[in-house]
Chains A and B, each alone.
Chain A
Amino acid sequence: MRRKNGYLTAGLILAGLTAALILLGFFWTPYDPNAMSMDRTGPTLAHLMGTDNFGRDIFSRVMKGAGATASIALTTVAIGAVCGTAAGALTGYFGGIADEILMRINDALTAFPSVLLALVVISVLGPGKKLNVILALGLVFIPSFARITRTAFAALRDVNYVKSARLMGAGSGRILLVHILPNVMHVLLPALTIGFNNAVLAEASMSYLGIGVTPPDASLGYMLSEAQGMFGIAPWYAAGTGLAVVLMVFSAGLIGEGLQRRNGEGA
């Protein structure tokens, strides 16, 4: 545990680099990501990742697309984590009949494969809208966060410092937020990185199915599925977008790995 945690450092560096490119993309890209031209090339110095079938600069589009993907994934995870933790905290801490019912529903929800559940939610909300994609995926992630945090909250319910806080007259809300939540963070943080990765990959899958975010505000997922259609003549398109997706998920994965090792799991 005292050993230097290389995964965390490497992950943070990669993630920082990605985040920097994304943030830069909000203000500046080498080319206008939507400007079309007849200029179609593979990777060159002028176009680092080449241009796509409409002559648009892929690197600029990847910067923008990564921003779209990251914002979708982050919002999604935020929804899942906040709602899931709330549900997990309440059921785990109080237990009782509400716990039984909620966990039954939770079990049922976990029986729906993630993309399937997202598809169903999308079909209710209507396809093609960014907000709907976020809502659908956010809902999908609630059960897993609820399950993880419930176990943690239940375990901490009867530990001594919680008991003493209760004896000193602290309200349930205070106990949950101030006393237990910080001690749940060590399971919550790795879960957040896993959730982020699942969100990126799920959004990509939905784009591939044609019900994710639609062009021209393309997410990485959409671009990747589009790139697959011209793999034979423009492999650099798939390579560039694929690299961006992998980099994003990989860096978050490393951070998760690092966090878990710091907790002494899977050392």
Chain B
Amino acid sequence: MKYAAKKIAAMLLTMVVVSLLTFTAFSLISGDAAEIMLGTQVTPERLAALRSELGLDRPLPARYLSWLLGFFTGDLGMSLQYHQPVRELIAPKVLVTLCLSVLCFLLITAVSIPLGLWSASRSGEALDGARTVVNQLCMAVPSFFTGILLSWGFGIALKWFMPGSFPDLGEDFFGAVKYLFFAAVAIAIPRVAMTVRMLRGTILTEMQKDYVRTAISRGAPRRRVLYRHVLKNSLAPVVTFLAQTMAEIVAAGIVVEQVFVIPGLGRILVASISNRDYLVVQAIVVILAFWVVLANTAADIINQRIDPRLRLGGDA
């Protein structure tokens, strides 16, 4: 419990730093925000009036605090481009993006752990080299390219789904998940390859350890040693690794959403960046970063349950 509390405290601290960094970065440039809104009709008086209306004339710490408060009460300000509350604008999209990342995460976990075990157990066999090559190849193809191949293959040729017609998440949840699945595959392939490679390495290192050698030399079945002991001791680093891929899943999601025309945060994020709609960008960035921090913290806590030795290690 103490460990979890400590981790959660660290998480909150990281979140504060994350939001502070984002907020400061955007505040440095948001002087423009008032100017952008006024466009060609900018005069010093109007600028000053608008700046005070937007609260831009207050000191930075005060603005940060009121923004943070707004963030947790759901008041994210107004979008400059859409004249709509940011919350209204992005709420349905947040759900879609989170769904996609969770799905993708589950997919990676479900596929890479058995594959990693299999790959490790076959280490040193004839096709080991070929497996490594395939693994490296999987990491070399950009997700958005895999995405378009999947769209043509499964969408157009096989008609397993209809690219470009993402159903509403609330109305047709399973249809939406089915649609998201293909995007998740595109994102997952390189990450599965990485996880398999990592798991394989960890297991092989573990197999070299004395207790394993002893167990095997005493006649315990190799397979049993592998599943009973080695896997258990290799799991903690893998969980950490998987949690860290959450950041990459989210990043790849921003791109792959475009390929599959999924109405998640990606499109509006890119558009808002270009349109300098900073309140929208700021909100999305912080939400995604919080999501990643949350995943990492969860992994740490789970790990400590799996492997109590970590309790001593602190935040290594």
Contact = CB atoms under 8 A, between A and B. Distances in A.
Interface in B259-279: 269-270, 273-274, 276, 278
Interface stretch (B47-55, B139-147, B175-183): B139-147
A107 B133 CA distance: 32
Contacts of A110: 244, 247
A205 B17 contact: no
A249 interface: yes
Contact of B197 (A124, A231, A246, A266): A266
A204 B142 contact: yes
Contacts, number: 139
Interface stretch (A31-39, A172-180, A208-216): A208-216
B225 interface: no
B85 interface: no
B255 A231 contact: no
Contacts of B126: none
Interface residues of B, number: 52
B254 interface: yes
Interface string A46-63: 000000000000000000
B260 to A, nearest CB: 12
A249 B144 CA distance: 15
Contacts of B288: 112-113, 116
A225 B144 contact: yes
A199 B15 CA distance: 26
Contact of B136 (A211, A231, A253): A253
B22 interface: yes
Given A112-B289, A208-B255, A245-B142, A104 B14 contact: yes
A6 interface: yes
A244 to B, nearest CB: 11
A208 B132 contact: no
A105 interface: yes
A266 to B, nearest CB: 3
A204 B144 contact: yes
B281 interface: yes
A123 B293 CA distance: 23
Contacts of A120: 22, 25, 273, 281, 285
Given A112-B18, A228-B148, A246-B137, A205 B142 contact: yes
Interface in A107-132: 107-116, 119-120, 122-124, 127
B250 A113 contact: yes
A208 B244 CA distance: 24
B152 interface: yes
B248 A114 contact: yes
Contact of B152 (A231, A247, A257): A231
B195 interface: no
A225 B140 CA distance: 16
Interface string A1-36: 000001100000000000000000000000000000
A34 to B, nearest CB: 24
Given A116-B288, A205-B142, A127 B274 contact: yes
B162 interface: no
A11 to B, nearest CB: 9
A205 B142 CA distance: 8
Given A107-B14, A204-B142, A265-B205, A211 B25 contact: no
Interface in B194-241: 197, 200-201, 204-205
B269 A257 contact: no
- Interface class of chain A by DSSP: helix
A111 B140 contact: no
Contact of B251 (A114, A124, A253, A257): A114
B144 A197 contact: no
Contacts of B18: 108, 111-112
B29 interface: yes
Nearest to B275: A123
A38 to B, nearest CB: 27
Interface string A247-267: 101100110010000000111
A99 to B, nearest CB: 12
Interface string B73-101: 00000000000000000000000000000
B21 interface: yes
A143 to B, nearest CB: 11
B257 to A, nearest CB: 10
Nearest to A151: B316
A113 B254 contact: yes
B164 interface: no
28 contacts: A104-B13, A111-B14, A111-B18, A111-B292, A112-B285, A113-B248, A113-B288, A113-B292, A114-B248, A115-B254, A116-B250, A116-B285, A116-B289, A123-B273, A127-B273, A127-B274, A208-B142, A208-B255, A209-B270, A210-B270, A211-B270, A228-B145, A231-B152, A249-B139, A253-B139, A253-B140, A265-B201, A266-B204
Interface of B: 13-14, 17-18, 21-22, 25, 28-29, 129, 132-133, 136-137, 139-145, 148, 152, 197, 200-201, 204-205, 244, 247-252, 254-255, 258, 269-270, 273-274, 276, 278, 281, 285, 288-290, 292-293, 296
Given A119-B269, A205-B144, 10 more contacts: A108-B17, A111-B290, A113-B247, A120-B285, A122-B273, A124-B25, A124-B29, A208-B144, A209-B254, A221-B142
